[in-house]
Chains A and B, each alone.
Chain A
Amino acid sequence: MRRVIIILSILVFAVVSSQAQGFQNFLDKSEVHGSFEFDGAYYIADDAIGFSEEDWIKGQPFRFNGFGKIVYTNGGFSAGLRYEAYLPPLLGYDQDLEGQGFPNIWASYTHEKFSFTVGSFYEQFGNGLTLRSFEEWMLGYDNAINGARIVYEPIKGLRFKGIYGVQRYYWYKWEPNTRGIVKGLDGELDFNQVFRGMADSKVRFTFGLSAVSKYQVDDMKELNLPENVSNIGARFNMGIGKFNINTEYAWKVNDPSVLNNFIYKDGQAWMLSLTYSTKGFGFFGMFKRYDNVSTKSDRYVTNNALDVTFLPPNTEIHTYMLTSMYPYATQPNGEIGFQFQVNYKIPKKSKLGGKYGMGIAVNYSQVNDIARDSVAYVDAFGVPAEGIGQPGSKGWTSPFFKFGDPVFWQDLNIEIDKKFSKKLKGSLLYMYQTYNIEVLEGHPEDGPIVYANIAVLEMTYKFTSKHALRWELQGLWTEQDDGNWAAALLEYTISPNWFIAVFDQWNYGNPEKEFQNHYYNVSFGYTRRTTRLSINYGRQREGIVCVGGVCRVVPASNGFYFTLSTNF
């Protein structure tokens, strides 16, 4: 703590000294912003859902995750710090997070064409196929880079970035010859800003190139490991009227690691998305292919940490209780898939649209394994062999556009939303899902594939402009995994400050009668300006929480949960 205060004091002093207009001017320009969040839980043993004192609570019924972030700005200068505490972490979060301290401290200065940052920073090149460092509180995930960053913008529309550093790994201090060092360069050119002839063009075009390299010492006796691994990407974004196309391709040299079973294959990632939108109609399509692109700055790490790259998912993110029961987790070792969505608004005063019109959205996504053929290699004992994904081999060969077996995921959903009157509106959703639970959760005994039909009906009735009642009825029908589920929710809102909700998820179709549990819950919340308090009591079902294809497993639990957050 003393170190933080000294650093900040020096930085503040430096800025003070540099201000010619004097101290008052300095104070006038100063701004301080921040945010705080406290998520706590008091767990109560509940043997009916397998949440026992012995296996889960272990004498620590109270747990909390919290953070506080303060950012100071003064003109082109900014500095900040972030405090975190996991004492101990909530269940379902990586228990390596246990501890408290200041994981992130940084200072940044922007002057004319240059911007410099030292300390912890987040950065993304393009879509993230070569580099993305980010923080996601919901996942307990933070792969901030600790080092230096320079951004140079020689002319408007042309920007270069350079980064150098090591990534955050829970509370472990970086030491030589442990996790790797990441360095990268990125250039992006906006043709419409740089070339005068295109300034007024209907075609908007940007182009980018990035190169990221990681260094980790070769510390393995039996394999010759590459110490420097590069990942190079190219991308463009083009808008023509109502169309927009975005694509990025990245290629990586051999990067043997625990995650790919120490194969020496190069890696390729490609994503392509197309959007079209006009009044009342929208289309979104996406294709992606990932082949051996797991990239971490420590080749031995397998948990949710130290990712250098980010692989955007191409599946719809569902938020209802039962539609989000089986979320998709990106498979960096290989997947190929596509998604499209059509949104159409049936006009007002038409036969189907009625007085207020009606919205229809159809979404389909599918992800398969890539097709893989075996390769010849020489094993550890010098014996010629053949196989797929064997350590010390080139891994596999794969036809680029061929969809392999098995299917990982399919999701067809149709959602209709309609306003019936000034007071009543509702939506109806049907979804058919194919979920490879063997690959995505490692539970072959429950499948291997779950086929589920899901329906959701949601209605909202506004009593007055401030008082509203919302309810949901949901059903999930499957013969695999835990069988059928039903769910219901009632939520009463008094805008803009209060809400209270009760809901229940009932696993009435579980093949084992003793596991036909209710997961009941009651919650209320109070919001005042930027401060929000919510308190829940009830059972949480076992499941998976995913954000952007990155997931964590949540155990079944019972207890009180509360969140207090604010920002200024």
Chain B
Amino acid sequence: MQVPAPFDYERATSVDHVLTLLAERPGDARIVAGGHSLLPMMKLRLAQPEMLIDINDLTDLDYIRVDGDEIAIGAMTRHAGLLSSALLGEHYRIFRDAERVIADPIVRNRGTIGGSLCQADPSEDLSAVASALRATVVIQSATGRRTVDARDFHQGPYETAVGDAEMLVEVRVPIRPGAGSAYEKVERRAGDWAVASAGAFVQLDGDTIKDVGLGLTAVGAPHFTCVEAEEALRGQAASAENVAAAAQLCHDACQPQADQRGPEDYKRHLARELSRRVLTTSIARARGEQS
């Protein structure tokens, strides 16, 4: 069996403790939550941090709650918690749709929203969800908290806005009354990373699209989204034709790379097909036509 190289281990007792440890070992320390992305990379010795800071004791970061006009999700919230949350289910079906197809139930017991976003895999599903919902990410450092738009959070494959001495502590999603949302993924097999995925929310004003968000993963979409498609839909009729036109913009804007999950043209096709589907479902849900 593959095994990681040696490292020091500290179990953090608080966010401040994490930040102190990070400051003591700049560049050498990595935070570990679920560990299901980081540890395989360490076993392959592709990652060799000199210190791991275990934040699994920070259970006060495991929450999903309404905070003003937003839903606040703590960084230590597990995938299983996102899947089973009645609050999220009430406001954003996109979470349930996505979580049902993220990894497998056992991995979902361990993996966290913070870990998933910070891993910043270009095929990560929650990154597309966060981007679709135009969520914000709260990052804490010794000097305080700052908030970053989810769409600015990822700065490239496996790179995020979180600095060496910082920690992601919360994800915030604006509450949009009446919004419908959906997520759809094509995978080669249950539990696989996405060949391509799309997520969306739609808010209607009568038959007009009042607001819309799109998220795309694994297709090389800048910032996990397609703003051209969003702009094309906003203020327009929620019609099949408009949705199809927007989906075509997703197809045109993404820059997928071929891998064993599929060639470039297929992924581009999926960007269109899946964005069309999630927009259609989101509209139907906003209208109350579909559960």
Q: Answer whether A and B are interacting partners.
A: no
